[in-house]
Chains A and B, each alone.
Chain A
Amino acid sequence: METLSNLADGFAIALTWQNLLLALLGCFLGTVMGALPGLGPSNGVAILIPLAFTLGLGPTPSMILLTSVYYGAMYGGRISSILLNIPGDEPAMMTCLDGYPMAQKGMAGQALSLSGIASFVGAFFATWGLIFLAPQLVKIALLFGPAEYFALFALAFMTLGGVSSTNQAKSAFAAALGLGLATIGVDTQTGVPRFTFGEVHLYDGLDFLVAIVGLFALSEVFIFLENRHGAADATKSKLVIGRLTPPLSMLKECTPTMLRSSALGFLAGVLPGAGASLGSFISYSMEKRLVDKKGTFGTGDPRGVAAPEAGNNAAAGGALVPMLALGVPGSGTTAVLLAVLLSLNITPGPLLFANNPDVVWGLIAALFIANFMLLALNIPMVGLFTRLLLIPPRVLMPIVAMVSFVGIYGISGSSFDLLVMIGFGIMGWGLRKFDVPLVPIILGTLLGNTMENNLRRAITIDDGNWFTLIDSPLAVGLWIVALIGFVLPLIIGRKVRKGMHKRRDEEGSIAD
Chain B
Amino acid sequence: MSDRIFGVFGLLLAIGFAFAAFAIEESFLSDAVGPKAFPLIVAAVLGVSSLVIAMRPDAEPAWPALGRLVEIGAAVVVMVLYALMLPVIGFVLATAIAAAYLSWRLGSSVIAAIATGVGTSIGIYVIFHLVLGLSLARGPLGF
- Bound complex: CA of A176 vs CA of B44, how far in Å? 9
Chain A residue numbers with a CB within 8 Å of B132 are: 51, 54-55
* A406 close to B116 (CB less than 8 A): no
Chain B residue numbers with a CB within 8 Å of A166 are: 58
* B35 close to A189 (CB less than 8 A): yes
Known A226-B72, A429-B72; contact A395-B103, beta-carbon cutoff 8 A:
yes
Cβ of A121 within 8 Å of any chain B Cβ, yes or no, is: no
Binds B, one of A28-36, A298-306, A334-342, A457-465: A457-465
Chain A residue numbers with a CB within 8 Å of B43 are: 176, 180
Residue of B nearest to A173 (CB): B49
Residue of A nearest to B2 (CB): A434
With both chains docked as a complex, state the minimum distance between the C-beta of A237 and any C-beta of chain B, in angstroms.
19
Against A, the Cβ 8 Å flags (1 = close, 0 = not) of B19-30 are: 011001111011
Chain A residue numbers with a CB within 8 Å of B134 are: 54, 406, 410
* A415 close to B133 (CB less than 8 A): no
Residue of B nearest to A401 (CB): B102
* A410 close to B106 (CB less than 8 A): no
Number of chain A residues close to chain B: CB under 8 A? 65
With both chains docked as a complex, state the minimum distance between the C-beta of B65 and any C-beta of chain A, in angstroms.
10
Partner pick for A410 among B3, B64, B128, CB 8 A cutoff: B128
Binds B, one of A87-95, A122-130, A320-328, A418-426: A418-426
Partner pick for A167 among B10, B25, B58, CB 8 A cutoff: B58
Determine chain A's interface SS by DSSP, over half rule. helix
With both chains docked as a complex, state the minimum distance between the C-beta of A506 and any C-beta of chain B, in angstroms.
13
Residue with the greatest number of chain B CB neighbours at <10 A, chosen from A173, A415, A435: A173
* B32 close to A221 (CB less than 8 A): no
Cβ of A233 within 8 Å of any chain B Cβ, yes or no, is: no
CB within 8 Å of B: which of A381-402? Answer: 393-395, 397-399, 401-402
Partner pick for A169 among B2, B53, B98, CB 8 A cutoff: B53
Known A401-B102, A460-B31, A464-B32; contact A169-B56, beta-carbon cutoff 8 A:
yes
- Bound complex: CA of A170 vs CA of B2, how far in Å? 13
* A456 close to B76 (CB less than 8 A): no
* B71 close to A225 (CB less than 8 A): yes
Chain B residue numbers with a CB within 8 Å of A459 are: 32-33
With both chains docked as a complex, state the minimum distance between the C-beta of A493 and any C-beta of chain B, in angstroms.
15
With both chains docked as a complex, state the minimum distance between the C-beta of A141 and any C-beta of chain B, in angstroms.
23
Partner pick for A173 among B53, B71, B135, CB 8 A cutoff: B53
- Bound complex: CA of A51 vs CA of B80, how far in Å? 23
Known A169-B56, A226-B64; contact A394-B86, beta-carbon cutoff 8 A:
no
Residue of B nearest to A426 (CB): B76
